[in-house]
Amino acid sequence: MAASFSRCGQQKALGSSTAQERRVFAPACSAVSAPAAASVNVNAAPVFANAAPVAARGVAVPRAPVSSRLQRNVTCAAGKDATAEGREQDLSRYRNIGIMAHIDAGKTTTSERILYYTGKSYKIGEVHEGTATMDWMVQEQERGITITSAATTCQWNGHRINVIDTPGHVDFTLEVERALRVLDGAVAVFDAVSGVEPQSETVWRQADKYNVPRVCFVNKMDRLGANFFRTRDMVISNLGAKPLVLQVPIGSEDAFKGMVDLVKMKALVWSGEELGAKFDEVDIPADMVDQANEYREKLIDSVVELDDAVLEAYFEGTMPDNDTIKRLIRKGTIDRVFVPMVCGTAFKNKGVQPLLDAVVDYLPSPLDIPDVDGVAVDDAEQALTRPASDDAPFSALAFKIATDPFVGTLTFCRIYSGKLEAGTYALNANKGKKERIGRLMMMHANNREDIKAAYAGDIVAIGGLKEVITGETLCDEKNPIILERMDFPDPVIKIAIEPKSKGDLEKMGMGLNKLAQEDPSFGYSRDEETGQTVIEGMGELHLEIIVDRLRREFKVECDVGAPQVNYRESISRPNDIRYVHKKQSGGSGQFADVAIKFEPGEPGTGFVFRSEIKGGAVPKEYIPGVLKGLEESMGSGQLAGFPVVDVTATLIDGSYHEVDSSALAFQIAARGAFREAMSKCGARLLEPVMKVEVITPEDHMGDVIGDLNSRRGMVNKFEDKPGGMKLVQAYVPLAEMFSYVSTLRGMTKGRANYSMCLERYEVVPPNIQTEIVAKQKVAA
Ligand SMILES: Nc1nc2c(ncn2[C@@H]2O[C@H](COP(=O)(O)OP(=O)(O)OP(=O)(O)O)[C@@H](O)[C@H]2O)c(=O)[nH]1
């Protein structure tokens, strides 16, 4: 049997469910791409002084639906005046936004232009030159990708815009999730050539989950094959959204000059494409007047429906004025009736200023969204809320931890209510501990500006917090609240790492500890028996970056093993198990008797525990012991030591001894019952199956399909793509996808690309299960 792992870095929290019904081990959600690390055997026995701190995990509760947003809109008018002394900007003039999209759609380039045009940076950093301000990590600059979401603050048109640029690669999906949790609105960037790409779908659904209002920016209008209206159609068909066209492009590809603004009914035409190029507001070109009229009419038709009085007047022949149109676009955007759509080319500096106008005009301020939800500290069933007001008790959510070489730990927080001053104390509501607010900073990518106080709506970094981790709440000690937790995916792959020397071993312990603190989708564990260290993450690229950071930031010399799938174990049939734990030899005895019904749960349900004990057959105080024993057992299954998922356990009966029973005895009995259940309930292995989308030239399509089939893949969809390309979609087990990037490159001479994300867990075929189990036993 595989040796047991002590799992560090993460703990699956129990959400807010009751003690009688709890869930752990939510299904993983992520993917893989990029080259595999070198393969080396690992035998060392590292010893770490500290286990990584326990990261909170929980079930995210989406924001309130539209109806409650509408209610909030009513309240906000009253809340607006409640601005405390010291606030620089009225809360209604805040926009907390994220920039989200598929990899390479141009999020970072767009964010860089936003910084430039808002006067925050005087020199533009280019992604392809490795100088982007927002991509400040050395790994980001070398690879030209965003890995961590960077936060920055800028000003536009009398508004404070807090921007978070999020990664597009699916391995860093947690960064997107964290950002969406604390944002009020988002800009969804699309590549005008590729339109809606797989990861744009994933982030779109994440934004749906958190009810985040969006504006679409169709970028790269200068590229060959760019097509604004095709992208609009894909937003409808692939995302099921209702785009509201606010601009019509003037020309495309090389001839892209600007756009017609359908509210102003003016053409915005750029005279150059250099940084800072000016644009003029001129009359609509004669050959576009009909098209502009047609789309303005569609725009007005969509917005008048949101206001009965305006609709009535419209039917009677009165056109709404531009202020009314803008008011209704804002209302429809915030209520998520439609998604305004604008266009441009960030790289060629066209369209960014109107995009900023759209952010200010149409995305919500903190006053436009529902009061943040939470629960009481001593009673998870008691719902609490906090309004976006400086006068309300202080509450903030830590959504990201970063390690800064100068400041140490930086904790990024979104302040939902109240005021926070540097040098004061706040309560970590999750841990019940007071923390000193040493330094308070506004962040500009990796630069920071010290501030004395922060207010409702701000996104700030706090320096020097000791024990706060991602997802925890900081609040006023006298008015404690625990805000909704975030949903963290479970790692899908793992690799073994071996430090080269004893010195490296110590540094590795420290490094892993810090990295796990920053990143809840990363975990590490140490096999107590073999001393092997295993790191777990969301994909090959994710772990590659972790190892790179260990080497560079923590100066750890190490060898790295081949990536392996993080399988899961489950059961296939129900069974009632009775287990008696009895120990009489020496000292006081131990006695616990449990009868537990084990049943396979629905996919994705994790672990559900219920107690149906009647008449005190198992006294109430021993039931947490049963739960604890089962939870411990779920961490490592009997087949091959993988986590067990999708099991429902119901405590139906039992007995106890007046003297010899204890919670510990029931914990041991539950572990015994679980062991028996795994052998009597048809234990089986589950594997992550990925949705893989390959975009390939037609002449390589046969090879691509043949290769996917040989990887146990099931091809389920073909589609035409712009430029004579074909999309092949297939479901393939993750175990068969390692190093796919290099195979695909070789097979198609580098002309195809692919992306993938976790679709579901499936039962591993019996012959493969036998192989995996045998391999795990040898490894143990
Ligand atoms: N032609 C053209 N290229 C662009 C435009 N915007 C961005 N690019 C280029 O597209 C590439 C990807 O841009 P990024 O801004 O890094 O895209 P991203 O979405 O931030 O990528 P990730 O952070 O890795 O997900 C870079 O080489 C950019 O220079 C554009 O408007 N036109």
Task: Looking at mean pLDDT, say which of 472-476, 532-536, 554-558, 587-591 comes out highest.
Answer: 472-476
Dump pLDDT digits (tens) for 295-324. Answer: 999 999 999 999 999 999 999 999 999 999
- The residue whose CB lies within 8 Å of the most ligand 1 atoms, and thus the one to mutate among 108, 112, 231, is 108
- Output the pLDDT for position 137: 55
Beta pairing class for 647-655 and 607-611:
parallel
How many A from CA of 105 to the centre of ligand 1?
A: 5
> Residue 589: left (phi > 0), alpha (psi -120 to 50), or beta?
beta
Residue of 471, 476, 470, 385 whose CA lies nearest to 437: 476
Please state the rounded mean pLDDT for residues 23-29.
27
Sign of CA dihedral 300, 301, 302, 306: positive
**Of 481 and 4, the one with more pLDDT:** 481
How many A from CA of 672 to the centre of ligand 1?
A: 55
How many A from CA of 349 to the centre of ligand 1?
A: 12
Q: How many residues does the chain have?
A: 780
How many A from CA of 115 to the centre of ligand 1?
A: 15
- Please say if the pLDDT value at position 596 is more than 50: yes
- Return the structure tokens found at 672: 């015994």
Q: According to the annotation, is 459 in a ligand binding site?
A: no
Q: How far is CA 545 from CA 401, 560, 762, in A?
A: 17, 12, 28
Q: According to the annotation, is 165 in a ligand binding site?
A: yes
Residue of 107, 285, 69 whose CA lies nearest to 190: 107
Atom of ligand 1 nearest to the CA of 126: 29
**What is d(CA 613, CA 628) in angstroms, rounded to the nearest whole number?**
17
Contacts of 586 (CB under 8 A, 6+ apart): none
Window from 53-57, 451-455, 545-549, 633-637 with minimum mean pLDDT: 53-57
**Of 287 and 527, the one with more pLDDT:** 287
- Output the pLDDT for position 169: 61
Residue of 426, 430, 522 whose CA lies nearest to 465: 426
The neighbouring-strand residues paired with 546 are none
Q: According to the annotation, is 13 in a ligand binding site?
A: no
- Please say if the pLDDT value at position 652 is more than 90: yes
- Output the pLDDT for position 6: 29
Secondary structure class of 310 (helix, strand, coil): helix
**What is d(CA 699, CA 726) in angstroms, rounded to the nearest whole number?**
9
Please state the rounded mean pLDDT for residues 139-149.
53
Contacts of 318 (CB under 8 A, 6+ apart): none
Q: According to the annotation, is 169 in a ligand binding site?
A: yes
- Output the pLDDT for position 265: 97
- Output the pLDDT for position 521: 78
DSSP string, 61-116: PPPP-HHHHHHHHHHHHHHTT-PPTT-SS-GGGEEEEEEE-STTSSHHHHHHHHHH
- Output the pLDDT for position 529: 60
The amino acid occupying position 274 is E
Please state the rounded mean pLDDT for residues 522-548.
80
Sign of CA dihedral 210, 214, 220, 221: positive
- The residue whose CB lies within 8 Å of the most ligand 1 atoms, and thus the one to mutate among 33, 102, 104, is 104
Ligand 1 residue neighbourhood (C-beta within 6 Å): 101, 103-109, 127-128, 144-146, 167-169, 219-220, 222-223, 345-348
Please state the rounded mean pLDDT for residues 438-462.
85
How many A from CA of 191 to the centre of ligand 1?
A: 9
**Of 16 and 758, the one with more pLDDT:** 758
Contacts of 158 (CB under 8 A, 6+ apart): 93
How many A from CA of 323 to the centre of ligand 1?
A: 34
Instruction: Give the residue whose CA is nearest to atom 12 of ligand 1.
Output: 104
Dump pLDDT digits (tens) for 187-208. Answer: 999 999 988 887 777 788 878 8
Window from 147-151, 455-459, 534-538, 564-568 with minimum mean pLDDT: 147-151
- The residue whose CB lies within 8 Å of the most ligand 1 atoms, and thus the one to mutate among 109, 129, 134, 542, is 109
Angle formed at CA 464 by CA 462 and CA 466, multiple of 5 degrees: 110
> Residue 753 — pLDDT band, cuts 50, 70, 90?
confident
**Of 758 and 465, the one with more pLDDT:** 465
474 touches 426 (CB < 8 A): yes
**Of 55 and 727, the one with more pLDDT:** 727
645 phi and psi angles, rounded to 5 deg:
-130, 170
- Output the pLDDT for position 780: 59
Dump pLDDT digits (tens) for 66-113. Answer: 323 322 222 222 333 333 457 878 999 999 998 888 778 888 889 888
